[in-house]
Structure 1
């Protein structure tokens, strides 16, 4: 199902583009000026990448086989393909309104931008929440082999290696021309940001009535929790509350005795740990667990063992850009790193798996206060990129301060939930965990 991962990665970039165009519409309405070259580059990117490459691949390969496998899929695919056909027409209208705006008539452009982005976001949501889950259910292994081969064909003239390089160049131009107040991930990028996800959206992870035991000792007692795409969710609690057991159960290392785990629309309760990682659940474990005798780079490569080999160099550079000290010391044994540097390595190793959901288990454990701040700055940066994060922490204040939502775990049960802000200001939590 590599094709679905590719499609989701492309959706993430389209979503960011849609959000940016919405923000630009707000800027225009407020009287700000935006460089004409930004619009020209953004429209070119949408036309060449979405309308010509992305849509064509889906129609010719994924949707064609879905029609063969299920008559019930027909109406939905009809609607999605109609969106694809009409996309170029909508873009032409957008270009026309842009031409009028250059003559001072901006109201039409603002309205067209909002209409276009609403259509785009609705289309992406339908594909992610309806079409892709259905494809997982109805397509055969032979179907996926055919689809994946087409999507990964580097010689394809429409979406091969050369075409992707051109798309990256277009994206870089859009980033460099975006207004400072809007941005598209900053001016230092230039490649498609394959980690960025849409703003908080549909449920990615849903855990219901989860139970897990160590012999006769029940560690998790009917735990319920959910994480939405783009969220940072904190799970806080005292030592022995069951936080690490929960993450181990979630990643498939610890057996579960009851309940269900749904991830990306699929029940993975009986899926092996390695297959959960392939689906996008990647963990930075408690205590770092780096392989001391191996080099730093070899540790990172181990995190990418489920990924296609041709992607590893690109992902290594991304991790090295985030943690320059790892690049500087990449040939040294991982055991020579300080505790803080080993934590960076553990997070980097998890990122090499291209996670849809990043699990961070006690990332501040055993670190000096200054290093704790540095590690959480990394978590904040990943959050800004839109990565979906489940953060397990005993350092409740720091975790809740950056979390969209939080859960409080006590002796294997969720006792309280709310936004990070609500929990920080909850008197019970302040007394029990924040020492206030």
Structure 2
């Protein structure tokens, strides 16, 4: 039932956006001011993704087959599909109300009320599908039905929701996050475009029986794993499981007490952290740890201190294209940035080292829902570019959803491993980490 997983992922994304818009509506009401660029970007996302793709996938595939298999589904589907048909009209009315408000023909309070009603309708729609439709579909549809539906949902060549369309949706979401107010987003005035490329499957990193201690306490108890080129590997587990210690051991910041690390064909177990960085292991640390008094640009340049000087300016522009807010504020102290902006700076600083392997430690920690989604969109884009990534996250579902493979850590041991999809579907993982 891959189609259901995809739809539920999309629902989580839309729910995050709805929560964000409710926060923005409260700010609009207090300040009596509307931001047409941000709201316009949100409406564009709703139009192209929700009305143009999400609803269409459900109508043409899942809902169509469900009507054939269930007599009781008809009235429920009639209502939901009527809401699908009315959605573009409702969104157009909201766009017109925004235009009227900006032109002085309507009030901000009226726009806020209309926006809240629109969002409540969207959330009620999602609740109904999750509560009524998907359990029914799971019960009555046959294996052959799901095979047909999944094939349509996973068709990468489909012009409406294939791989090219998904990349466009990520760009639209990136624009929303970039234009959102600082309180919920990146707080920029423009949004850059991200590029993609390919990768191979050669083993890049091999860790064997790695141990690390804090005094007499053994934090890692014989970790063995590997990362292939172009792969995204997720480390999931509760706070204190050893995820940060493991990443710090890979980068050389935390001493090893036993084991071996082979990176790009070389045993680096005894190399200092700076030498590991020169070989291409770059880390975005937990808690971001930007240099607050230094400017944003100086923070980024520090990330490139091992690189030839002639390439730094070009790399800076690539980071600025990826995170326009950093370019807008590049002369300001890094400590003046919001949490989400600092996270983008920390990732950008790591990328300035031109990593062969990027270590991301809890990149979504403490961020607003909109920015959680944007951080994982950045990870998806880096993955599409062929970047090799080790991602340590407490947000297990989001990490495993984009990972090629995952490892579950508990008190310094790997207790489970498998593909991201296998771990998401594992009952033990779902109960312990996904709240299911």
Distance in structure 1 (CA, Å) of the matches to 2:211 and 2:273:
17
**Structure 2: 5+ residue stretches without partners:** 1-161, 172-194
Report the counterpart of residue 299 of structure 1 in structure 2: 299
Give 3-state SS (helix, strand or coil) of 1:235's partner. Answer: strand
Deviation at 1:181, TM superposition (A): 8.6
Give the conservation status (yes or no) of the 8 Å contact 1:282–1:359: yes
Counterparts in 2 of 1:430 and 1:357: CA distance versus 1, 3 Å = same
8 Å Cα contact 1:197/1:230 also seen in 2: no
Cα–Cα, structure 1 residues 305 and 293, in superposed 2: closer, same or farther, change >3 Å? Answer: same
- Asked if the contact 2:220–2:413 (Cα under 8 Å) also holds between the matched residues in 1, the reply is yes
Q: Indicate the residue corresponding to 1:405 in structure 2.
A: 405
Q: What is the CA distance between 1:368 and its match in structure 2?
A: 1.2
**Residues 197, 384 of structure 2: 8 Å contact kept:** no
2:433 alignment partner in structure 1 = 433
The corresponding residue for 1:243 is 243
Is 1:371–2:375 an aligned residue pair? no
Cα deviation code 1:222-267 (max 9, x no counterpart): 1001000000000000011000000111100111010000000000
Distance 1:404 1:202, change over 3 A: same
Could you say which residue in structure 1 is the equivalent of 2:271?
A: 271
Name 1:290's counterpart in structure 2. 290
How big is each residue's C-alpha offset from its partner over 1:34-75, in whole Å with a ceiling of 9 and x where there is no partner? xxxxxxxxxxxxxxxxxxxxxxxxxxxxxxxxxxxxxxxxxx
- The residue that corresponds to 2:233 in the other structure is 233
SS at match of 2:245: helix
2:424 is matched with 424
| Equivalent residues of 2:198, 2:385 under 8 A apart | no
Q: Distance in 1 between the 2:242 and 2:163 partners?
A: 42
1:292 and 1:259 map into 2 onto residues whose CA distance is 36
The separation in 2 between residues aligned to 1:181 and 1:322, in whole angstroms, is 20
CA apart distance, 1:199: 2.9
Do structure 1's residue 327 and structure 2's residue 327 form an aligned pair? yes
Given the superposition, is the C-alpha separation of residues 430 and 294 from structure 1 closer, same or farther in structure 2, using an over 3 Å criterion? same
> Residues 390-421 of structure 1: CA distance to partner in whole angstroms, max 9, x if unpaired?
00000000000000100000000000000000
> 1:235, 1:409 within 8 Å by CA — same for their partners in 2?
yes
In structure 2, the partner of 1:212 is: 212
Counterpart for residue 260 of structure 2: 260
**Structure 1 outlier segments of 4+, above 4 Å:** 180-183, 195-198
SS across alignment from 2:208: strand
Closer, same or farther: CA 206–316 of 1 in aligned 2, 3 Å: same
1:197 deviation in Å? 6.7
Q: 3-state DSSP class of the match of 2:230?
A: coil
Distance in 1 (alpha carbons) for counterparts of 2:163 and 2:294:
44
**Counterpart Cα distance in 2 of 1:373 and 1:258:** 37
- Is the Cα–Cα contact under 8 Å of residues 268 and 276 in structure 2 kept in the other structure? yes
Displacement of 1:386 in angstroms is 1.0
How high is the TM-score relative to the length of structure 1? 0.55
Equivalents in 2 of 1:431, 1:327: separation in Å? 42
Partner of 1:342: 342
- Map of 1:14-413 to 2, 5 A cutoff? 198-413=198-413
Aligned-pair Cα RMSD in Å: 2.1
Q: Compared with structure 1, are the counterparts of its residues 390 and 328 closer, same or farther at alpha carbon in structure 2 (3 Å cutoff)?
A: same
Separation in 2, partners of 1:222, 1:258: 8
Q: Quick one: distance in 2 between partners of 1:426 and 1:232?
A: 19
Cα-to-partner distance string for 1:367-404 (whole Å, 9 max, x where unaligned): 11111111111111111111111000000000000001
Listed as ranges, the gaps of 5+ residues in structure 1 are 1-179, 189-194
Task: State how far apart, in whole Å, the 1-side matches of 2:353 and 2:360 are.
Answer: 14
Mapped contact 2:232–2:403 kept (Cα < 8 A):
yes
Q: How big is the shift at 1:196? A: 6.8
Whether contact under 8 Å (2:196, 2:381) holds in the other structure is no
> How many Å apart are 1:200 and its aligned residue?
4.0
Q: 1:200 to 1:424 in 2, by over 3 A?
A: farther
Distance in 2 (alpha carbons) for counterparts of 1:282 and 1:181: 29
- Counterpart CA distance in 2 for 1:345 and 1:199 is 25
**Partner SS for 1:319:** helix
> Secondary structure, in 3 states, of the residue corresponding to 1:416?
strand
1:198–1:229 Cα contact (<8 Å) kept:
no
